[in-house]
Amino acid sequence: MSLAGQDLDAGNGPQQVSGGAGAVDLSAETVVGQKLAAQVARRIEASIIEAGWPVGAVLGSELELRERYGVSRSIMREAVRLTEHHQVARTRRGPGGGLVVSAPDARSALHAVVVYLEYVGLSVEDVLQARLLLEPIAAAAAAARMSEEDIADLRRQLAEEVERRAEPGLDAQDRLHVMLARISGNPVLELFVDVLTRLTANQAYTTRRLTKAEIHEAKIDSHDRHESIVRAVIAGEGNRAAAETADHLRETADWLRQRERTRRPGVRRAPEPEPGTKLAETVASRLLAEIERRGWPVGMVLGSEADLLARYGVSRSALREGVRILEYHSIARMRRGPGGGLVVAEPEPDASIDAMALYLDYRGVGSDDLLEVRHAIELGALGEVMARHADPEVAAVLRNAIERSAEPSAPERPTGADLFHSELVQLAGNPVLTLFLRVLTELWTRHAPNTPGPQPGPEAVATVEKVHGRILDAVLEGDTDLARHRMRRHLDALKAWYH
């Protein structure tokens, strides 16, 4: 199957941005060129989604893609590298080759989001609050969908926990949680729980030094809880499975809290590259590890290109591609000229959000999947905000969000309708929930315009403003039940705009 003859742009055709009469040559501006390459990559990715993600289809040769999107060779190659980094497509050499649609996995998205969240600084409470909102739902759903194959998988995992009890560390204990989220059938829950277990493992790594006896006892206690959860799931008792999961997570939070020590943002355990990782990804991971070891000193020059080539012993092309990955995630940037080199930057979440949204798009996430998680996150955040409903900041922030709901927004920012929701979750003060909601609203935004029928006009905007105002009224009155009712009804109504 080949898509090379189709116009794969989801928009209004290629835009001439480099080369040709009247075109603007952006190749001299590195930053602008990177942004342009990211735009082209996103258009390629949007076209793949629009075509139904046809794995193995050839999108075209480099020349065909350059002509289709109207960009220079350097911009197209940069765009292709980004699609490869997202594992959306890969380059195939030789006759019949070109850019080929591939099936992504979650590794790139998972690693990027964990790096960002660890940088901004997390507490045990942040991570476990998110887990308490999502994992009981996953356990209950798993109990309703459990197959005999799933039962065998869970029992094998329990046996493996016992077999690996003598190994150092606690990582093996988290696999059962991700497995339950997978069995739930909701790809959003599976991805988010995977992120959360990785963050929990990092929290455990930053506790005070643990004795072998403490680790051994923790593994035994965790395994006992896992057995209770699995028994409830296999028996189809969703409520009991959810309650057992919640109790286990509260115990985990207490255990970590008692052993927590003060640490600086950005300092965490850097994971080893997984087998099969491209050299450029390995280079990026090693550079990231160095940045983290130094305490993430924003503005520091790690070295010139020549310094880094000598330090890491790789080719110039591998180093440059690794640096591009860091630049894409705003982890570092290469500064040219005297005194230049690789400069440590402050990470931004946009690339991580995009990578997670792309992966979930590939998994075929539907409106029910998104709504299940949105309900959990937004109602959980609402509970936190209700606890400070008398705080003048709550009223000021949410009223301002409602007033700005009709304003146009930048592509990387929440839309007007989403602004109220994003501000509400931010007021809850949990960066994990804030990032997760941005992933969900990004997916919602990508799909809502494709809904058959008329799109929301001024009347719909006014209706949304009114609903947001009614939710705010309930919040300011301190009426938790009414605020939750209105929020739940509002989120359910959004389903009509998702396709």
What is the Cα–Cα distance from 484 to 15, expressed in whole angstroms? 46
* CB neighbourhood size of 212 (10 A): 9
List the one residue out of 175, 186, 124 whose CA is nearest residue 153: 175
State the DSSP H helix or E strand holding residue 231, giving kind and residue range, or none if neither: helix 212-234
In order, the DSSP letters of 23-86 are: ----TT-HHHHHHHHHHHHHHHHHHHHHTT--TT-EEE-HHHHHHHHT--HHHHHHHHHHHHHT
Please calculate the CA angle 454-456-459 and round it to the nearest 5 degrees.
120
Q: Which residues 6+ apart lie within 8 Å of 408 measured at CB? A: 416
- b/e for 59-74, b at 16 or more Cβ within 10 A? bbeeeebbebbbbbee
Residue 456 DSSP code: P
Give the model's pLDDT for residue 495.
77
Distance CA 141, CA 228 (A): 16
What are the chain's domains?
Answer: 1-103 (1.10.10.10), 122-259 (1.20.120.530), 279-344 (1.10.10.10), 366-497 (1.20.120.530)
Are 319 and 274 contacting, i.e. CB atoms less than 8 angstroms apart?
no
Q: What is the pLDDT of residue 26?
A: 30
pLDDT at 57: 95
Sign of the C-alpha dihedral computed for residues 458, 460, 466 and 471 taken in this order: negative
Any bridge partners for residue 301, and if so which? 343
Report d(CA 108, CA 113) in Å as an integer: 9
Mean pLDDT by 10 residues, the chain (499 residues): 37 33 36 75 90 93 94 91 86 88 83 85 92 98 97 96 78 84 97 93 67 83 95 98 97 84 47 60 89 92 95 92 86 88 92 87 91 96 96 96 73 65 96 95 74 55 88 97 96 75
Collapsed DSSP state (helix, strand, coil) of residue 313? coil
Classify residue 187 by burial, with Cβ atoms within 10 Å: 0-12, 13-18, 19+.
buried
226: tokens are 């896992």
CB-neighbour burial class of residue 145 (10 A; exposed 0-12, middle 13-18, buried 19+): middle
Q: Tell me the two tokens of residue 80.
A: 């292709």
- Cα–Cα dist 162/160, whole Å: 5
Residue 23: count other Cβ atoms within 10 Å of its Cβ.
Answer: 14
Q: Give the distance, in angstroms, between the CA of residue 477 and the centroid of all CA atoms in the same chain.
A: 34
H or E element, residue 369: helix 367-386
Q: What does the block give as tokens for 419?
A: 């602004």
Structural contact between residues 130 and 436, judged by C-beta atoms closer than 8 angstroms = yes
pTM over 0.85: no
**Six-digit token pair at 390?**
């008398």
